[in-house]
Amino acid sequence: MTQKNAFFLVRWIRGLLALFGRLFGASSKAAPQDFDSKLEAGMGKSRSGFVERLASLVGASKTIDRSLLDDIETTLLTADVGVDATRQITDELTDALSRKELKDSATLWARIRNSLLGILENSQTPLSLPESDEQPSPFVILMVGVNGVGKTTTIGKLAKRFQDQGKSVMLAAGDTFRAAAVEQLKTWGERNNVPVVAQGTGADSASVIFDALSSAKAKGIDVVLADTAGRLHTADNLMSELAKIRRVVQKFDPSAPHETLLVVDAVTGQNALNQATEFHETAKLSGVVVTKLDGTAKGGVIFAIAKRLGLPIRFVGVGEGIDDLGEFKPETFVDALLGKVSEESVQ
Ligand X SMILES: Nc1nc2c(ncn2[C@@H]2O[C@H](COP(=O)(O)OP(=O)(O)OP(=O)(O)O)[C@@H](O)[C@H]2O)c(=O)[nH]1
* Contact residues: Mg ion, CB under 5 A: 151-152, 175
**Smallest separation (angstroms) from other proteins to the CB of 276:** 12
**Smallest separation (angstroms) from other proteins to the CB of 217:** 27
Q: How many residues bind ligand X (CB under 6 A)?
A: 24
**Smallest separation (angstroms) from other proteins to the CB of 148:** 3
State the amino acid at position 80 in one-letter form. D
Count of residues in the chain: 347
Beta pairing, strands 313-317 & 169-172: unpaired
Residues 272-311 that bind ligand X (CB under 6 A): 291-292, 294-295
Partner interacting with residue 317 (select from other proteins, ligand X, Mg ion, none; CB below 5-8 Å by kind):
ligand X
Query: 290 has which bridge partners?
Result: 264, 316
Q: Does 260 bind ligand X (CB under 6 A)?
A: no
What is the CA 36 to chain-centroid distance, rounded?
26
Q: Which of 34, 320, 323, 327 binds ligand X (CB under 6 A)?
A: 320
**Smallest separation (angstroms) from Mg ion to the CB of 122:** 28
DSSP 70-116: HHHHHHHHHTT--HHHHHHHHHHHHHHHHTT---SHHHHHHHHHHHH
Q: Which of 15, 59, 148, 310 binds ligand X (CB under 6 A)?
A: 148
Q: Does 327 bind ligand X (CB under 6 A)?
A: no
Partner interacting with residue 318 (select from Mg ion, ligand X, other proteins, none; CB below 5-8 Å by kind):
ligand X
Q: Which of 159, 280, 278, 270 is nearest to 216 (CA)?
A: 159
Q: Which of 55, 58, 117, 232 binds ligand X (CB under 6 A)?
A: 232
Beta pairing, strands 287-291 & 313-317: parallel
Q: Does 226 bind ligand X (CB under 6 A)?
A: no
Q: Which is nearer to Mg ion, 178 or 244 (CB)?
A: 178
**Smallest separation (angstroms) from ligand X to the CB of 285:** 15
Residues 113-149 as b/e (b if ≥16 CB within 10 A, e otherwise) read bebbeebbeebbeebebeeeeebebbbbbbbbbbeeb
Q: Does 151 bind ligand X (CB under 6 A)?
A: yes
Q: Which is nearer to Mg ion, 152 or 275 (CB)?
A: 152
Q: Which is nearer to other proteins, 170 or 256 (CB)?
A: 170
Q: Which of 273, 261, 264 is nearest to 298 (CA)?
A: 264
The CA distance from 84 to 91, in Å, is: 11
Q: Which is nearer to other proteins, 37 or 125 (CB)?
A: 37
Stretch in the footprint of ligand X (CB under 6 A) among 59-67, 197-205, 225-233, 333-341: 225-233
Sign of CA dihedral 53, 292, 303, 300: positive
Q: Does 153 bind ligand X (CB under 6 A)?
A: yes
**Smallest separation (angstroms) from other proteins to the CB of 194:** 14
**Smallest separation (angstroms) from other proteins to the CB of 173:** 11
Counting beta carbons within 10 angstroms of the beta carbon of residue 307, is it exposed (0 to 12), middle (13 to 18) or buried (19 or more)? Answer: middle
Q: Is residue 172 classed as helix, strand or coil in its secondary structure? A: strand
| 313-317 β-sheet, strand order | 196-197, 169-172, 223-226, 139-144, 259-265, 287-291, 313-317, 325-327
**Smallest separation (angstroms) from Mg ion to the CB of 298:** 24
Q: Do the Cβ atoms of 169 and 162 come closer than 8 Å?
A: yes
Partner interacting with residue 65 (select from Mg ion, ligand X, other proteins, none; CB below 5-8 Å by kind):
none
The CA distance from 290 to 302, in Å, is: 8
Q: Which is nearer to other proteins, 230 or 257 (CB)?
A: 230
The CA distance from 48 to 204, in Å, is: 50
Q: Nearest-CB residue to ligand X?
A: 230
The CA distance from 64 to 296, in Å, is: 28
**Smallest separation (angstroms) from ligand X to the CB of 168:** 22
Q: Which parts of this chain interact with ligand X (CB under 6 A)? A: 145, 147-153, 175, 178, 181, 229-230, 232, 263, 291-292, 294-295, 317-320, 324
